[in-house]
Amino acid sequence: MIGTIVNIAAVLGGSTVGVLFRGRFPEKVQNTVIHGISLAVILIGMQMAFSIEKDPDILLVIFSLVIGAVIGESLQIEKRLNKFGESLKEKFGGGDDLFVQGFVQASLIYCVGAMAIMGAIQDGLNSNPSILYTKSLLDGITSIAFAASTGIGVAFSVIPIFIYQGSITLASSWAAVYLTEDMIRVMTASGGLLITAIGLNMLGVSKIKTGNLLPALLVAVILSAFVF
C-alpha cells in the first residue's frame, strides 16, 4: 500500500500548493491556464486511446462504451458522484462553486489508466511501488494546476484513489492472474476516451456524462476475456 499512500500524499501536497496560488492571477490568465490544462488532458486521453493494436480492439472499445453507457445511465453514476461531491462541499468546500467539478474530474483522471492498475498490482505482489511513484509525481504536478483552477475539491480525489488503488493492491494476487495484457490494453483505450471527454468538457465544447461511462472499463475487461 506504500505506493498508494505516496500517491495520496503527492495529490494532497500538489492540491495545497495549487490552492495557495488560486486567485492570485487575473481571470484571463486563469482561463488560459484552464484551457492549457484541458488540452493536456485531451493529449493524455488520446495517447491512452491509441494504445489499441489489434483489429478486434476498436470494436471492443465501441461495444464497451455503448454497454457501459447503458449501465451507467441506469445506475445514474454521474448523479451519484456529483451528489457525493456536493456532500463534501457542504462540509469542507464552503462557497466554492468549482468544488464538485474539481473533485469529479480529478478523481476520474487519477483513477482511470494503466498506471493505476499495474502500479497497484506490482505494489501488492512484489512490494515494488516504482510505477505508483512515477504516477505520484505526475499526479502531484497536475494537481497543482487543477487545484489552482478549480480549488480544494481536487484534494478530495484522494478518497477514490485510496479505495480504487488500495482495493487492487489488496486483490493483486487475483488481479494478476485474470487481468491479461489484452484486457488492460482495451480497458486503457476505453479509459483514454473517457479522459478525452473530460478535457472536452473542461474546454466547454461538450457536456459528456463521463461518470456514466465508467462501467465501460469493466465491460472492456469482460468482453476481452471472451475475445482473446
CB 51 within 8 A of CB 185: yes
Predicted local confidence at residue 17, as pLDDT:
93
Which pLDDT tens digit goes with each residue over 170-202? 888 777 777 888 888 898 899 889 989 988 988
Q: How far is CA 64 from the centre of its chain?
A: 17
Predicted local confidence at residue 133, as pLDDT:
93
Eight-state DSSP code of residue 204:
T
Q: Return mean pLDDT, the chain.
A: 87
Query: Which residue is listed with cell 505520484?
Result: 136
- Percent of the chain past pLDDT 90, that is, above it, reads 32
Residue 107 burial (C-beta neighbours within 10 Å; 0-12, 13-18, 19+): buried
Measured CA to CA, the distance from residue 73 to residue 14 in angstroms comes to 33
How does residue 63 score in pLDDT terms, banded at 50, 70 and 90?
very high
How does residue 68 score in pLDDT terms, banded at 50, 70 and 90?
very high
For residue 165, give every residue at least 6 positions away whose Cβ sits within 8 Å of its Cβ, in sequence order, or none.
3, 4, 7, 111, 116, 119, 120, 132
Reported as type and span, the H/E element at residue 12 is helix 2-21
Nearest to 168 by CA among 125, 139, 138, 133: 125
- 3-state secondary structure at position 94: coil
How does residue 219 score in pLDDT terms, banded at 50, 70 and 90?
very high
CB 110 within 8 A of CB 120: no
Predicted local confidence at residue 55, as pLDDT:
72
Identify which has the larger pLDDT, 52 or 224: 224
Which pLDDT tens digit goes with each residue over 78-110? 899 889 988 888 887 776 778 998 899 899 889
How does residue 154 score in pLDDT terms, banded at 50, 70 and 90?
very high
Which pLDDT tens digit goes with each residue over 9-50? 999 999 999 999 887 777 787 778 788 888 888 988 898 888
Predicted local confidence at residue 31, as pLDDT:
78
pTM of the predicted structure, to 2 decimals: 0.81
Measured CA to CA, the distance from residue 45 to residue 53 in angstroms comes to 16
Predicted local confidence at residue 132, as pLDDT:
92
Predicted local confidence at residue 223, as pLDDT:
93
